[in-house]
Structure formats: structure tokens, C-alpha cells
Amino acid sequence: MTTTKDIQQAFKERLDYDELMNCMRCGFCLPSCPTYGQTNQYEAASPRGRIALMKGVVDGLIEPDESVEKQLNLCLGCRACEPVCPSGVKYGHLLEEARDIIQQKKRHKWPVKALRHMVFEQLFPHKERLKNVHSLLAFYQRSGLQKAVQKTNILNVLPGNLAQMEKTLPPVLTKKEMKKRPFLFEAEGTRERTVAFFTGCLMDTMFMETNNATIALLQKAGCKVVIPEVQTCCGALHAHGGEKDQAKKLAKQNIMAFESIQADDIVLNAGGCGALLVEYDHLLKEEPEWKERAAAFSAKVKDFSEILLQQQFVEKQKLSLPSQIITYQDSCHLRNVMKTSSAPRKLIQAINGTVFNEMENADHCCGSAGIYNLTEQEMSMQILDYKMEKVKETHAHTIVTANPGCLIQMKLGVVREGVEESVRAVHLADLLLEAAESK
Amino acid sequence: MLNERTKAKLVEVVGSANFQDSSEARLVYSYDATPNFQSLPDAVIMPENKEQVKRILTICNEDHVPIVPRGSGTNLSAGTCPTQGGIVLTFNRMNKILEIDEENLTATVQPGVITLDLINAVEAKGLFYPPDPSSMKISTIGGNISECSGGLRGLKYGVTKDYVLGLEVVLANGDCIKTGGKLAKDVAGYDLTNLFVGSEGTLGVVTEAILKLIPIPETKQTLLALFEDMDAAAKTVSAIIAHKIIPATLEFLDQPTCEVVEDFAQVGLPTDVNAVLLIEQDGPPEVVSRDIEMISRICSEGNAVSVKVAASQAEAEALSTARRSALSALARMKPTTILEDATVPRSKISEMVKAINEIAVTYNVKICTFGHAGDGNLHPTCLTDARDKEELHRVEQAFEAIFHKAFELGGTITGEHGVGEMKAPYLALKMGGEGVAAMKAIKYALDPQGIMNPGKIFAKDTRKRVVVRS
């Protein structure tokens, strides 16, 4: 029982009451919320409802019991509610704080504790270890083991959709190949900008080829690309998963790493990471010695699509692909927090030979949302199935995304629908490089 | 709390998944969009059809359990706040458009249909459903009917009641009646349809509605006129009407409202003038062009510093969407935003706006004003902080003065939001004692146990209008 009291007390101390009051309950957020839609308009599964729950705990109207925690966990954190909120409520910040309180006060059962420890502390903050995991994966894929395992159907004993997920894993590079990459790339032609590249964790291991493609595109657009060596995980998984202290530690490490480079921009290709990077100043708002440095860092963060557009990439580079219909699934954080939504579309539409079909509700979350597709599998798959219906309506052959989580999710969607033969999911950078190289 | 016996009977009707009484469910149905009202219901129930609604009401009537019908909870008069406890009845499972009848120009819908979904569905067939409350993306048709919602097109097209041809209503005792129908002419007996529209869930539960549709206007043009002087803008509104032009929309925003709306919507609303008129005319192209030209001239003659016609449909759409966000955008300025709905005859707009500003000064409170100037329906909106009890008292006094002034000018206490609980203390001001008694007689006849949304419309003895409950 003391845990409940502790949580309640921490809600009172740490949640911004002005921000809670700022929600005037107009409900303008409701139609934008995927979980509200998927729960048949259940108020508790909406941003307005969740804010009311948080305020209810602070006001002492309800206890922070399991149902409150469940609703907060069910939120994708896609933040689609923020741009449509006329009152300007910072919902994402409230949610992050509330989740952090619950996680810190909660007594997890040991398997959960061990898993969280491994993911948040032992794995993601250490890129070398991630690379090791991926080199195992590379071995698994290349040794024929993957084929053998898939044949046995042994994976079907895995819970939920893990067996399907296994099929979506892209072929990863070996550790040796990962190590080969230099840290400096000169611009092709005249150098117009110097950009520092934020590599990310998943993007630089499981999707390292996409990172390489992004660098190549930036070079073609006249950018010198520098990769600060000591950068680390962005901390987004930690911040969203209720591990704020760890997120702050990682943020400081990254700020220091990028301060050592005199770059015009800090560029990346993962909306999920970008959204936290542009909010480092908020994350470190209570640490005066870091606030300004964080703000300077955040101000430089841009998605690569914005840089390409700004550098007139489509004028400099002829883009073409064999005839196909393309559609684009927004990365929520890229759209709602980094405010990038037209640049990727403009780039895709510049590819000759292809047709761009906008998907209905492309701005609605695909259900990936960090580790949501593992922690809230049922809702995640419900949202994904809805999403795939919308994809089908566009008749697209190619689904483009701009974030590793969304990419994995959309690949999973393709597998679930059994349309691997006719539909592919691809990161924008890979598509653009393919179009640039295609003769 | 509900007793176990009642609960068991209700669960039997809808199944346990559609009857929720967890603390979470009770909390999230304890409010609507009205500031400072919150009260926990005992449970939330989600029926699937009319039969279930009938059984639910029968049980509640027998066991004396209050019933609060609720759409999306966007209303601003505390009409769906369960202040007397009981059961919140939601319509999220009764949300189908049953028919769009192109021969009779009607739509038959269930109450849980979202207003904008209906508007889009009929427009796809070249038809038009005019009521467009600012909350139309979220609000339900059932809620619109219960509150008799208005909207930006109210000046030319009227409010919800002008588009309800027939209803299916379940009464408190579980009886189901049908009123009106698809007929253009239908005068048999009392006009029960109109009685239920705007009855705020106090007389029965609407389970189906037949709505009137009209042909969609061929074209639309939007104009923005800026004024240095609020009085000049208000006089221009009267002048437009006096020239016998009825625009589809004639909206008014004062400077602070423009500022916050622009901050949110970024559509190029000016923030440096004292009053803005947003005017729309729709209809045949030649009529629209003629009217817009005439309106431009009247604005210029009325000392507008700038008159500009929107260049594209997209620009026009952005402007009216921005206007719809005015109330919520104002919430950026202070923690608590209390919006009112005072309405005066069109010719008195200028006088009322002036009075509101004077009242704000007298009581030392911050009031921004925007609203449907063309139909005399103003939304003076007070920016305050519910935690500041002293200021809140002055806010109450200011609103009381505003209502008295509106009434004095031949106006009313609400133009489109309903009375709810928030404005119940002022109903007598508008209706007189005898009027209230007549309304109560109807209420008693249809709901003798008083289970239908109790505490709404009719005042208790207090005159305080801002009440904080938990």
C-alpha cells in the first residue's frame, strides 16, 4: 500500500499542476488519438482522459492503482494530440513524468526487473554490446541457422507475434563490416555545409546500411559529414519507459560529444531519436549548468530529409525508379515533435517513374512506438491491422517510413498480411539512394 | 453507490464489458468541457441498441438511479457532468448513419454519430447539413440535439432544432415514442420533436433521429475585415444585416482572441488590430460575388482598416478552422477559462460588446470576446484561475451583470450551449417564475421519479454559478 501512497505523493510533487490545469477538456485531442479510436471511444484511453487520471491522482480523487497505470501504459506516446491541442498542453511531458514516477516507485517482479536492467542499462547505452548482439544475429542469418530454425517451426512457441517478427529482421552487417566505416565523409562536389551525424542505436546496428545510405545522400547534397565517435544512445527508450535519470545521463554524454565538432547541423534519420534530441533542453531543464548547452544542441537537430530539401538535393540529383506506387507512413515523433512532415513527401514525389498515393490517416501512429509493440502487443497489432487496411487502399507497392521502429512495424504488417511478394517497407534514405543510383 | 442488485440487472442487459464501475472509468466520465465541474458517477454504461436503452431506463426508474446521457462530453454548461451521481449512458456503440435518403432529403442516424462524419457523408452526396458547432470534429449528433447546438453557420441556417424532423425517444419509464418523421409538413398535435431538442437529457433518451438535409451551396467566399475600433466592427455587423444581406457566417474576434488563436493556428490572423470580422457567404456564384462585394463596401464605409477576401478555398477553410479553436486557444493564457453564451438581438451587438468591456473593468477581470456576431450570440470568455477564490467571486459577479445586461437588451442567457447546471440559476431571469413552473410541469409529467439528468436546467436555491465539486 505504501507504494500507492508514494506514487500519489510523487505525482503531487513532480507533475506540473499548471500544465494539468491547462487542459480545459475541450476534447479537440480525441479524434487524433489512435487508442481512443481503437477502444471504441473509451474516454480513459484518450489524452483528455489520461490527463484527467493524472490530475485525479494529484487531487486525491483516485488512487494510482493498476487501472491508472494500465491506461498510461496503453498510451503510444505518439503525441498526435499535441499539435491539435489549441490550449497547447504539453501532454508528452506529463506522460513521461508520470511514467517515470510509476516505474521508479514500482516493485517489479524479478524477470521484469532483469529485463529492464538489461535493456535500459546494460544494452542500449553501450553501442559495442549492441554490435555484439547484432553480430550474433548476422551469424544466425548467414550461417543457415535462420533457415533451419524457421523450417522447424520451433519459433511458434514464442509468445505473441515474436515468431512473425523474427521474419522481419533485415540482413545485418557483421561486426567487421560495422567497424570498417570511417568517421569523416567529404562532400561530393563543392562543400556547402558541415553536418554532424547522429547514428542512433538500432539505426547503426540493425539498419546500418540505412545510415550509410543517409551519409551518401548528404554527401551528394554537398554536405561534409562527421560522425562524433563518443556519441551514445539518445535515451528516448529510457525517457519513454520511465527511466529519466538514465536518459539525462545519455543526453549529457551526447551534448559533450557533439560540442567537440563545429558542425552547422546535427542530422539524423530516426524520428524517435530526433524527438528526444530536440527536447534535451526540456529533459535537462532542472540542471542550470546544462540547460543552455542542451538548448544549443537541440537547436541544431534536424531530420536528414529537411537538410536534403534545404540543400536542393532534388535539383542536384536525378531520381528515378521502376514504375511503382509509393505511400508514406509518418513517424509520429518526426511529425508531431520535430514538425517534419512535408519534406519526406516532397522528396518521394521527386522520384521519376513513381506515383505517390497519400494514405488516409498516415499521421496516425503505426503502433510500433518504441517497445510498445512488445509491451502492449494486443493493441499494437490492432492498430497495425487498421494501418494495413489503409495501406491496401492506396494500392502501394512500397511503404516508406522514417524511423527504425516504424520500419520494423510496417515490415511486420507486410508479413501479417502475407503480401511479402508484392509489397515492401523501406526507409526513406534507402529508397532515395536506390532512386539516385538507378539508371 | 449502486446496490449490487441494480448492478447485476444492468450487467445482464449490456454484458460486463459494457458496464464499467472501476475508479478509472468513473473518473473519466466525471466531467465535460465545463470548467470547475467534476463529480463521479457510480458507473458508466454503453448500450448497443434501443432495446437495451429501454431496459436500462426501466431498471433505473424502478430503482431510482439517475441517468446522464452523454455524447463526447464537449458541452460547456455542465449538462453532462453527473453532479447527482448515478449512471452515465454513452453512445459510442450506437454510432451508425442508418440512411441518407436522397429523395426525401433526410438522414437517419443513431445518436453517437460524430457531427463531422455526418457532414462529410452527406456532402459526398451533394447534400448539406448546416449545424456546425466548433466542436463538430468531436461532438455527437445526440449531444447536438440534446443541447440544441448552434455553430458558425447559424446566422443564415439556424441551429440544430431547425434540422430535426423526427426522433425516436425512450422515456424515463422505458416507453419508446416516435415523433415527427420524414414529412415536410407534419402538425399533428403537440410538437414533441422540438420539445425534446434542447431538453438536455432531462426528458428522455434520443435513440434515433431523422435530420433534414438541404442542397449543398454551390460556392462560398470568405472575407476578413479588420478594425481599429471594436465599436466600429460591431456597428458594421448591424449595418450588414440592415442592408438585408444574411451572410452564412459573421464571426467576431477581439484582439486578445486573435492573438492566441494565431499563436496556435498560424493562419495569418492579424494580431495588432482591436477587432476582426470573419464573414462568409455561400450560394450561387453570382449572388456570392455580389454579396461579398457589398459587404466589402459596408466594411470599408464602417472604417475597416483592411478588407481582404480569402484567395483560395484552403485559405478560407484555415480561417474558419482557426476560429473554431478560439475557446481552447484562449486557455493558453490562464489556467481557467470560463466561456459564456450571452445572446442579444442582432441590432444590439454593439451595445452588448461595450457593456461587456465596461463590466470587465468594473469587476477587474480579464474578458476576451468572440462569437457569432451576426446572430447576436456572443461568447465573452473570462480568463482566470480557479484557485484564486477572491477573483473567482468577481468573475461570478461580472457574469451575473452580463446576463442581466443581455436580458435587459431583449436577449437570453444561452444561444447554443444549453442551460445545464452552470446556468440553471439564471433560467428564471429569462423565463419568469411561471415559465419555469410550466417547464417543471412537463418535466414532472414525463419523468416523475426525476431520474433523467437531475440537477440540470432547473436551479436549486443557490445563485452561485461557479461550483467546484469533487
C-alpha A356/C-alpha A362 separation (Å) is 13
Which residue of B30, B95, B138 is in closest CB contact with A28?
B138
Neighbours of A422 (CB within 10 A): 11
Mean pLDDT of all residues in chain A? 90
Please tell me which residue of chain B has the smallest CA distance to A39. B92
Q: Which of B263, B266, B328, B368 best probes binding to A when mutated, by most A CB atoms within 10 angstroms? A: B328
Classify strands B366-372 and B336-339 as parallel, antiparallel or unpaired: unpaired
A52 near B CB under 8 A: yes
- Residue A224 and residue A185: Cα distance in Å, rounded? 6
Q: What is the residue-averaged pLDDT of chain B?
A: 92
Tell me the average pLDDT across A355-369. 95
Residue range B220-237: average pLDDT? 90
Residue predicted with more confidence, B450 or A112: B450
The pLDDT of A167-190, averaged and rounded, is: 82
Report the residue from B28, B32, B35 with minimal CB separation from A53.
Answer: B28
Environment class of B23 (CB within 10 Å of its CB; exposed 0-12, middle 13-18, buried 19+): middle
CA distance to partner chain B, nearest, from residue A40 (Å) = 6
The pLDDT of residue B40 is: 96
Least confident of A228-242, A262-276, B99-113: A228-242
Q: ipTM value of the model?
A: 0.92
Chain A contact present for B93, CB below 8 A = yes
**Backbone torsion region of residue A228, taken as left when φ is above 0, otherwise alpha when ψ lies between -120 and 50, otherwise beta:** beta
Q: Note whether B391 and B334 are within 8 A (CB).
A: no
Q: What is the mean pLDDT of residues B377-404?
A: 92
Q: Which of A397, A306, A308 is nearest to A355 (CA)?
A: A397
Chain B CB contacts of A42 below 8 Å: 92
Residues of B in contact with A31 (CB under 8 A): 114, 137-138
Cβ partners under 8 Å of residue B335, min gap 6: A18, A21, A22, B384, B385, B386, B387
Task: Compute the distance between CA of residue B34 and CA of residue B31 in angstroms, rounded to an integer.
Answer: 7
The closest alpha carbon to B143, from B356, B391, B458, B453, belongs to B453
pLDDT, residue A159, reads 63
Contact by Cβ (8 Å): B145, B111? yes
Specify the pLDDT at position B462.
Answer: 45
Question: Which residues of chain B make contact with A28, given a CB cutoff of 8 A?
Answer: 135, 137-138, 325, 328
Nearest to A43 among B28, B40, B137 (CB): B28
Sequence-ordered list of residues with C-beta below 8 angstroms from that of B388, at least 6 positions apart, any chain: none
Average pLDDT over residues B274-296: 95
Query: What is the rounded CA–CA span in Å between residue A205 and residue A362?
Result: 27
Q: What is the pLDDT of residues B238-267, one digit of tens each?
A: 899 889 999 999 998 888 888 888 888 888
Q: How confident is the model at residue A160 (pLDDT cuts 50, 70, 90)?
A: low
CA A387 centroid distance within chain: 17
Model's pTM, two decimal places? 0.90
Asked if A66 reaches chain B (Cβ–Cβ under 8 Å), the answer is: no
- Dihedral sign of CA atoms B194, B196, B197, B202 in order: positive
> What residue has cell string 459587404?
B295
Pairing of strands B67-70, B87-90: parallel
Q: pLDDT band at residue A131, thresholds of 50, 70 and 90?
A: confident
pLDDT of residue A296: 95
Which residue among B23, B326, B337 sits closest to A65, beta carbon to beta carbon?
A: B23
- A112 Cβ contact list (under 8 Å, min separation 6): none
Grid cell locating B76: 460547456
Q: Are A54 and A11 spatial neighbours (Cβ–Cβ below 8 Å)?
A: yes
Which chain A residues have a beta carbon less than 8 Å from that of B336? 21, 24
DSSP string, B25-70: HHHHTS--SSTT-----SEEE---SHHHHHHHHHHHHHHT--EEEE
Q: Which of A11, A16, A17, A28 has the most B C-beta neighbours within 10 Å, making it the best mutation to test the interface with B?
A: A28
The percentage of residues in chain A with a pLDDT greater than 70, rounded to a whole number, is: 96
Task: Check whether A107 has a pLDDT greater than 80.
Answer: no
CB contact under 8 A, B328 and A62: no
Q: How many CB atoms lie within 10 A of CB A368?
A: 30
Question: What is the pLDDT, as a whole number, of residue A168?
Answer: 75
Minimum Cα–Cα distance from A50: chain B residue? B28
Rounded CA-CA distance A327/A356 in Å is 6
Overall average pLDDT of the B389-410 stretch = 93
Tell me whether residue A107 is exposed, middle or buried, using C-beta atoms within 10 angstroms of its C-beta: 0 to 12, 13 to 18, 19 or more: exposed
Residues B161-185, mean pLDDT to the nearest whole number: 96
Q: Does B366 touch chain A (CB under 8 A)?
A: no
The pLDDT of residue B465 is: 41
CB contact A422 to B (< 8 Å): no
The residue of chain A nearest to residue B385, with distances taken between CA atoms, is A21
Higher per-residue confidence, A282 vs A154: A282
Q: Is B369 on the interface with A (CB under 8 A)?
A: no
* Residue A196 CB partners (closer than 8 Å, separation 6+): A225, A226, A227, A228, A258, A261, A263, A265, A266, A267, A300
Whether the CB-CB separation of B337 and B327 falls below 8 Å is answered with yes
Contact between B470 and A42 using a beta-carbon 8 Å cutoff: no
A143, pLDDT greater than 90: no
Q: Given this model, what pLDDT does residue A2 score?
A: 64
- pLDDT value, residue B254: 87
Which run of H or E residues covers position B72? none
A154 pLDDT tier (thresholds 50, 70, 90): low
* Chain A environment of B265 (Cβ under 8 Å): 86
Asked if B350 and B338 touch (Cβ cutoff 8 Å), the reply is: no
* pLDDT at residue B321, as a whole number: 83
Stretch A179-208: mean pLDDT, rounded? 90
Q: Which amino acid is at B131?
A: P
Answer yes or no: do B29 and A43 touch at CB < 8 A.
yes
Please tell me the number of Cα atoms within 13 Å of A403 on its side-chain side: 27
Q: In B, which residues are within 8 Å of A44 by CB distance?
A: 24-25, 27-28
Nearest CB partner across the interface for A86, out of B32, B40, B325: B325
Residue A30 and residue B138: Cβ atoms within 8 Å? yes
Other Cβ atoms closer than 10 A to B361: 10
Task: Give the chain A residue nearest B339 (alpha carbons).
Answer: A24
Q: Which of A169-173, A337-341, A421-425, B94-98 has the lowest mean pLDDT?
A: A169-173
Q: Which of B21, B28, B259 to mutate to test the interface with A (most CBs of A within 10 A)?
A: B28
Kindly tell me the sign of the dihedral angle through the C-alpha atoms of B458, B461, B463, B467.
negative
What type of residue is B119?
Answer: I
Does the pLDDT at position A410 exceed 70?
A: yes
Contacts of B73 in chain A (CB under 8 A): 25, 27, 43
Query: Given this model, what pLDDT does residue B362 score?
Result: 96
Contact of A430 with A213, CB cutoff 8 Å: yes
Angle B211-B216-B222 from CA coordinates, rounded to 5°: 120
Q: Do B30 and A52 touch (CB under 8 A)?
A: yes
- The pLDDT value recorded for residue B468 is 38
Distance from CA of B322 to the nearest CA of A (A): 9
Residue range B227-243: mean pLDDT, rounded: 89
Structure confidence at residue B469 (pLDDT):
40
How many Å is the Cα radius of gyration of chain A? Answer: 22
Chain A residue at shortest CA distance from B323: A86
A23 membership: H or E segment, kind and range: none
Taking the CA of residue A373 and the nearest CA in chain B, the distance in Å comes to 24
Contact B79, B423 (CB under 8 A): no
What pLDDT was estimated at residue A439?
A: 62
The listed range with the strongest mean pLDDT (B213-227, B302-316, B341-355) is B213-227
Report the distance separating Cα A95 and Cα B23, nearest Å: 20
The verdict on A83 touching B (C-beta cutoff 8 Å) is no
